[in-house]
Amino acid sequence: MKKACIMMIIIMVSALVGCQKTKDVNQNTQEEPTVGMANPWNNNATAQEVEDLTGAKLIVPEGAYDVAYLTLESEKLAEMNFTMDDARFSVNVKPASDFEDISGLYYEWDAEGVDKVGEADAQIRLCFDENISNVLWYDGERMYSVFTNGADKEGMEALRVANIVYGAEEASGKADYDMYGYVVDKLPEDEYYNHYNVKGDNDKIFICNYNGNDELAEGTYVGMWQIGEGWTLEVIDDMKDKSDNGIIFSDENGVKITNIEVSLRGDEPDIFTMTLTNPTSEDQQIDLKRIKVENYDGTEISVFSEKETAIDIPSRTESKEMTFSIRNPGNLKAGDEVSIYYDGAFIYSTVVTE
């Protein structure tokens, strides 16, 4: 994320008095409820409960740990707290019709400035003596606040984190993954929430968390990066839509199938084309018998002969295009939608071209 200059409006205060805190209600977990009254805060909320209540999906920054969520259902207000680089951060969010201060912070601020979080105008407030930084922004649907008590004299760290938790493209961009892999299975919900066993490209199995709404199918190709001592993941291909990098499927050995095409060539043999990649450090094979092609009406299309049982793919192969003559196209014609299965599970569909 580029570092934008913050145009500060300095508030003159007494050098002896400094930044005065008149009230701080941000630390909801530490407030003692009145005797006989139930605590209205849910101090053991989950990321999904935050999203369900506010409609906001908060992104946990890389390197954050001790992540905790709180919700106040009566106000549709949610809070995410975490520690990163020895500083504590607090993120508040709620649906709103206009800009409002939801930080729970009441200070006589030393300096205030303006900048951007994503495309939204943001207000930055600083208290120098207390090392307090606060960023507030309203995106037309929800109000957000990020607060930190770390050493952040210009508010740039709070602004950077605000862009990350908001999911602004400028802040996150394309993730630099520690590794890639594929989903092996989903862990039981009574033991883990939205966690998966994922086999990395180093052949080790990791327990990874996924904050998306959809359950990931076995074989889903993902990128992974480390958050504290755990692993989080982003779906590269959800087996429903072809991703930008063309990856359709990755098998248990890390071999990827990409760019499948079925073409009718008139007088020439009809062909089935696919591209294979092997990013691992070992030579691999892909068993052609595991691949099945069907026309839209359920008719199986004969693509591979009995002799074509396996393909060798050397290690670190960026792409290996394979072309096969379709031996029994049946009633196949241009414009038909054909489906490709791997071990009986649907992985892709494509339209026949001429």
At residue 296, the pLDDT reads 81
At residue 114, the pLDDT reads 86
Cα angle 204, 209, 212 (rounded to 5 degrees) comes to 130
Domain spanning 247-351, CATH architecture: Sandwich (2.60)
Cα angle 63, 107, 150 (rounded to 5 degrees) comes to 20
Residue span(s) of the chain under CATH 3.40.1000 come to 9-172
Residue span(s) of the chain under CATH 2.60.40 come to 247-351
At residue 81, the pLDDT reads 95
At residue 154, the pLDDT reads 64
Residue span(s) of the chain under CATH 2.40.50.140 come to 179-237
9-172 carries CATH number 3.40.1000: yes
Identify the CATH class of 179-237.
mainly beta
At residue 8, the pLDDT reads 38
Whether the model clears a pTM of 0.75, i.e. scores above it, the answer is: no
Side chain identity, residue 234: E
Give, for all 354 residues of the chain, the pLDDT tens digit: 333 333 333 333 333 344 555 444 444 444 455 555 678 899 999 999 999 999 999 999 888 889 999 999 999 999 999 998 888 999 999 999 999 999 999 888 888 888 888 889 999 998 888 888 999 999 999 999 999 987 665 667 888 899 899 987 433 334 556 777 778 888 876 555 578 888 877 777 888 877 666 778 877 778 887 654 567 788 775 444 433 445 677 788 888 887 888 988 777 778 888 888 888 888 988 888 888 898 888 888 888 887 888 888 888 887 888 888 888 777 888 888 888 888 887 777 788 888
Can you read off the two tokens belonging to residue 175?
Answer: 């993730």
At residue 213, the pLDDT reads 64
